[in-house]
Amino acid sequence: MSISTSIEETLTSLEKEISVADLGSDEAIEEFRIRFLGKKQGSITGLMKRIPDVDPADRRAFGQRVNELKAVAQARIQKAQVAQGPGVAGTSDVDYSLPGRVPARGSLHPLTETYRLITRVFESYGFSIEEGPEIEDDWHNFTALNFPPNHPARDMQDTFFIEQPTQKHDGILLRTHTSPVQIRVMLDSEPPFRVIVPGRVYRNEAISYKSYCLFHQVEGLYVDEGVSMGDLKHILHVFARELFGEDVVMRFRPSFFPFTEPSAEVDIWWKDDNMPGGGRWLEILGCGMVDPNVLESVGVDPEKYTGYAFGMGIERIAMLRYGIDDIRILYENDERFLSQFD
């Protein structure tokens, strides 16, 4: 179906006008816009308004032609505006001279970065990753780890109880350390065990620059025939060198944990020329040989097997590595802080 000849002629001449019009200045562009596309008197606008009145047989073809014309006119305006240059008031609201917007790039949280670093070292020595629940019972968190009932050692780790223990029921609590996962791993399978356990732990402590109500630990456990304190020292030395450099100086300081015997805390020497003595010892983790009572509580024969365990706070290590002096900043999600860790 073709459009009637008179309309066809109008369209063809309009098309010509649109294509030859001179758009060499901002004024000419504006004039062109008003003439063809102006809301009130633009000739294309007028044709669009007439679409409903066109004979239904021709309406579709007519509508299509008018829309094509409109697109051609708009394209001419746009091209002419670009040619006229940037930021010309009234003709374009796009300033082509502005620098592009750089999309914001995300980065890993310093705790994630540190966690990955730590686990990578141990994975390369054959440790596999295990996880456990953050809501624990008293037995896994304390009793099986050789904390005697009502023993003051339980106060070492101020606990958030969900249900206080009673004569009849075990207490339910937010785990105070990742050590209960040692118990779960040993109950679930047979030795040898060689695992690291990352996870979140909770302590009911006053919040300050150096302690927070939750933090993250990485636990390590290796149980097999003939595992010795020498093996423990070796793996921790490897670890400290990876994280703090080849020439790291570390020491084992005798300590106490109910679930290890003997127990030690590991310090590294932190060089600081502004301090008397040129630095200071900083504790990075707790460790020891798994107490035979713990092995017995999970049915592992302590006459046949020995093992070591260690546990470290990811926050502490991250703070040392990055020179962060307030733990709270790690949880504030302040972009000014986080964007420094690209």
Q: Which residues make up the interface to ligand PHE (CB under 6 A)?
A: 177, 179, 219, 257, 260, 286-288, 309-311
Q: Which is nearer to ligand PHE, 48 or 213 (CB)?
A: 213
Eight-class DSSP state of 174: E
Instruction: Give the gyration radius of the chain's Cα atoms.
Output: 37
Q: Which is nearer to ligand PHE, 69 or 240 (CB)?
A: 240
Q: Which is nearer to ligand PHE, 42 or 313 (CB)?
A: 313
Q: Which is nearer to ligand PHE, 21 or 153 (CB)?
A: 153
Strand duo 260-271 + 279-290: pairing: antiparallel
Q: What is the DSSP string of 74-121?
A: HHHHHHHHHHH-S--TTT-S--TTSPPPPPPPP---HHHHHHHHHHHH
Q: Which is nearer to ligand PHE, 110 or 307 (CB)?
A: 307
In the bound complex, what is the minimum distance in angstroms from residue 162's beta carbon to ligand PHE?
A: 19
Joined tokens for residue 245:
């450099």
In the bound complex, what is the minimum distance in angstroms from residue 300's beta carbon to ligand PHE?
A: 16
Eight-class DSSP state of 318: H
In the bound complex, what is the minimum distance in angstroms from residue 246's beta carbon to ligand PHE?
A: 26
- Own/partner long-range contacts of 282-285 (Cβ < 8 Å, ≥24 apart): 282/320, 283/316, 284/240, 284/312, 284/316, 284/317, 284/320, 285/236, 285/310, 285/311, 285/312, 285/313
Q: Which is nearer to ligand PHE, 171 or 288 (CB)?
A: 288
In the bound complex, what is the minimum distance in angstroms from residue 335's beta carbon to ligand PHE?
A: 31
- Identify whether the C-beta of residue 130 lies closer than 8 Å to the C-beta of residue 197: yes
Chain residue at closest Cβ approach to ligand PHE: 311
Strand duo 279-290 + 250-257: pairing: unpaired
Phi, psi of 45 (to 5 degrees): -55, -40
In the bound complex, what is the minimum distance in angstroms from residue 288's beta carbon to ligand PHE?
A: 5
Phi, psi of 149 (to 5 degrees): -60, 140
In the bound complex, what is the minimum distance in angstroms from residue 105's beta carbon to ligand PHE?
A: 36
